[in-house]
Structure 1
Amino acid sequence: MRWAFITDIHANRQAFEAVLADARAQGATRYALLGDFVGYGADPAWVVEQAAALVADGAIAIQGNHDEAVVQGSTPGMHPDARAVVDWTRAQLGEDALRFLARLPLQAHGEPGHCLFVHANAYDPKGWEYVQGRAEAVKSLHASPARIQACGHMHEPMLYHLSGTGKAGDFRPVADVPMPLPGHRQWLIVPGSCGQPRDGNPAACYALFDPAKSDLNDARVTFRRVAYDVDAACAALRASALPAPIAERLARRLSQGE
């Protein structure tokens, strides 16, 4: 059984379509969607509909901070751009879509390798703090006995580990290079963003996870980068009813991977 870990889709239909097609071509049969289905992109209704269909077919899905913001609605304290995107996104979603986002859990456990799935971190899932480095990763790993955690929120792919003696380490993964996940360590997989990568490379990110078959030492993760039609995603933003300056800023970030 091969899993696809996908996160931070951010209403980017073109990126999500490309990642799902690639995951199927790579033999993925199970999916864990780690939150932030909406925000930034031009197609929130389509993305939520596809996510709901995957969940109905057995996928795991987690709520992200952008999902929570859209469910709750904008507030006066938000940055004006964020408030405009939240208001516009809510207007695109029907009651079923909003209900789907509202009912998503903050964390879930899965079959493969005793995984814990969460959007931001395991120590305070609703606080939306970022795993920006080794210190936060260790704090998250200490918060759960799960041997493998997978989280989103950070838009760049990373892999962290913690040994039984407390020694921590991290890897900046290379795409398409399988990484073994030995059972004597805990692991935190950050797949990177499907819909808005922020490492200077606009190609969509996700991770393939192969659970251990016979013991805890043969699990592995492979990080993927998938080229997609960025120009079409940018054109969809510019054609949307978002205020033109906001749409242009969002399109520029997509095209530059930032």
Structure 2
Amino acid sequence: MKIALISDLHSNREALAAVLEHAASHQVDRYALLGDFVGYGGDPAWVVEQVRALVAAGAVAVMGNHDSAVVLGAHSSMNEDAAAAVNWTRAQLNAEQLDFLKQLPMSVERDNCLFVHANAFDPAGYAYIQGRLEAMRSLHATQARYTFCGHMHEPMLYHLSGTGKAGEFTPQPGVPIPLMSNRQWLVIPGSCGQPRDGNPAACYALFDLDAGSLSFERVPYDHDAAAARIRAAGLPERLAQRLITGE
């Protein structure tokens, strides 16, 4: 079974369309959508409808902090730009779309895989996995062989051996990585809709469950058009610029 792992879509229609086309060309069997479908970007309704359609067809989807904020209201810890986008986004979604976001689970576990937005140790707290310490805490919190999460907008891979030895790896796009069965793995595919590693190309990952193989992918898309949608919506200019610079 080949699974496309897509996270942090952030209302970016152009990025999601490009990633879905790329994934389809690789004959994926299932999609796992790791949260933050909305926020920041200029086309939340279209993105939510795509996510709803994928879920109806069998995809896994979990709640992200921006999804929760659109449902409940911007959190006080959000910066000014993020809060502005949350408030604007809420007004763009209809009742069915808001209810869909409200009903999203915090995590899903199946086939020895845990899907969650931020981490396994406190999914609703949305703490970031900023390094090996947080990654190991997350891996110790689950029995699943594979944990897939988003929240961090940069691709990363961590592992934990049966003897407690931890490791981390910054992946190269398009290079298959064998995930040895005697280790636990934590996969952060990066952001589809707002990459922050200096490369504006959309991020996602392909996981072959049967082969135990993972590849991180980068997909170029029309980020100028996505930035134009943000400007047309009257959202902060910084949100448009981040798409162009990938930072």
TM interval, shorter chain, is: over 0.9
* Partner Cα distance (1:81, 1:135) in 2: 29
Partner of 1:215: none
| Identity fraction in percent | 63
- Among 220, 228, 231, the alignment partner of 1:235 is 228
CA distance 1:77–1:211, change in 2 (3 Å): closer
Letter in 2 for 1:65: N
Once the two structures are superposed, residues 93-141 of structure 1 have per-residue CA deviations (whole angstroms, 9 ceiling, x without a partner) of: 0000100000000000123xx1000000000001100001111110000
Amino acid at match of 2:162: G
**What residue is the counterpart of 1:156 in the other structure?**
154
- Corresponding residue for residue 142 of structure 2: 144
Q: Distance in 2 between matches of 1:249 and 1:118?
A: 28
Could you tell me how far 1:85 is from its partner in structure 2? Answer: 1.2
SS of alignment partner, residue 108 of structure 2:
strand
| Structure 2 CA distance for partners of 1:206 and 1:75, relative to 1, 3 Å | closer
Q: Distance in 2 between matches of 1:69 and 1:95?
A: 15
TM-score normalised over the length of structure 2: 0.97
1:76 Cα offset (Å)? 6.3
Whole-Å Cα distance in 1 between the matches of residues 91 and 240 of structure 2?
A: 20
For 1:105, give the aligned amino acid: P
CA shift in 2, pair 1:249/1:183, >3 Å: same
The Cα shift of 1:86 comes to 1.3
1:222 alignment counterpart? 215
Aligned to 2:101: 101
Distance 2:78 2:139 in 1: 31
The CA distance in 1 between the partners of 2:193 and 2:137, in whole Å, is: 27
Counterpart Cα distance in 1 of 2:138 and 2:83: 30
Query: Secondary structure of 2:109's partner?
Result: strand
RMSD: 1.1
Q: What 5-or-longer segments of structure 2 have no aligned partner?
A: none
Q: Which residue is equivalent to 2:205?
A: 207
Between the aligned partners of 2:110 and 2:203, the Cα distance in structure 1 is 21
Pair 1:238–1:176, CA change in 2 (3 A): same
Aligned match for 2:242, one of 217, 233, 253: 253
Q: Specify the SS of the correspondent of 2:82.
A: helix
> How much has 1:78 moved relative to structure 2?
4.7
For residues 255 and 16 of structure 1, the distance between their equivalents in structure 2, rounded to whole angstroms, comes to 16
SS in 1 for 2:53: helix
The list of structure 1 runs, each at least 4 consecutive aligned residues, that deviate by more than 2 angstroms after superposition, is 74-83
- Partners of 1:77 and 1:34 in 2: CA distance: 21
Q: 3-state SS of the aligned residue for 2:41?
A: coil
Query: What SS does structure 1 have at the residue aligned with 2:184?
Result: strand
Instruction: Please state how far the C-alpha of 1:81 moved relative to its aligned partner.
Output: 2.5
Cα separation, 1, equivalents of 2:162 and 2:24:
35
Give the superposition deviation at 1:77: 6.6
After TM superposition, the structure 1 = structure 2 runs for residues 1-258 of structure 1, keeping only pairs within 5 Å, are: 1-74=1-74, 78-111=78-111, 114-212=112-210, 218-242=211-235, 246=236, 248-258=237-247
C-alpha distance in 2 between matches for 1:236 and 1:33: 23
Structure 1 length as normaliser, TM-score?
0.93
Alpha-carbon separation, structure 1, partners of 2:62 and 2:80: 26
CA distance change for structure 1 residues 101 and 219 in 2, over 3 Å: closer, same or farther?
A: same
The 2-side partners of 1:219 and 1:46 are apart by 33
Using the alignment, how far apart are the partners of 1:74 and 1:205 within structure 2? 26
The amino acid of 1:178's aligned partner reads: P
- Whole-angstrom distance in 2 between the partners of 1:178 and 1:225: 13
Specify the SS of the correspondent of 1:126. Answer: helix
Query: What are structure 1's unaligned runs of at least 5 residues?
Result: 213-217
Deviations 1:17-57 (A, max 9, x none): 00000000011120000000000000000000000000000
C-alpha offsets along residues 143-179 of structure 1, whole Å, 9 cap, x if unaligned? 0000000000000000100000000001100000000
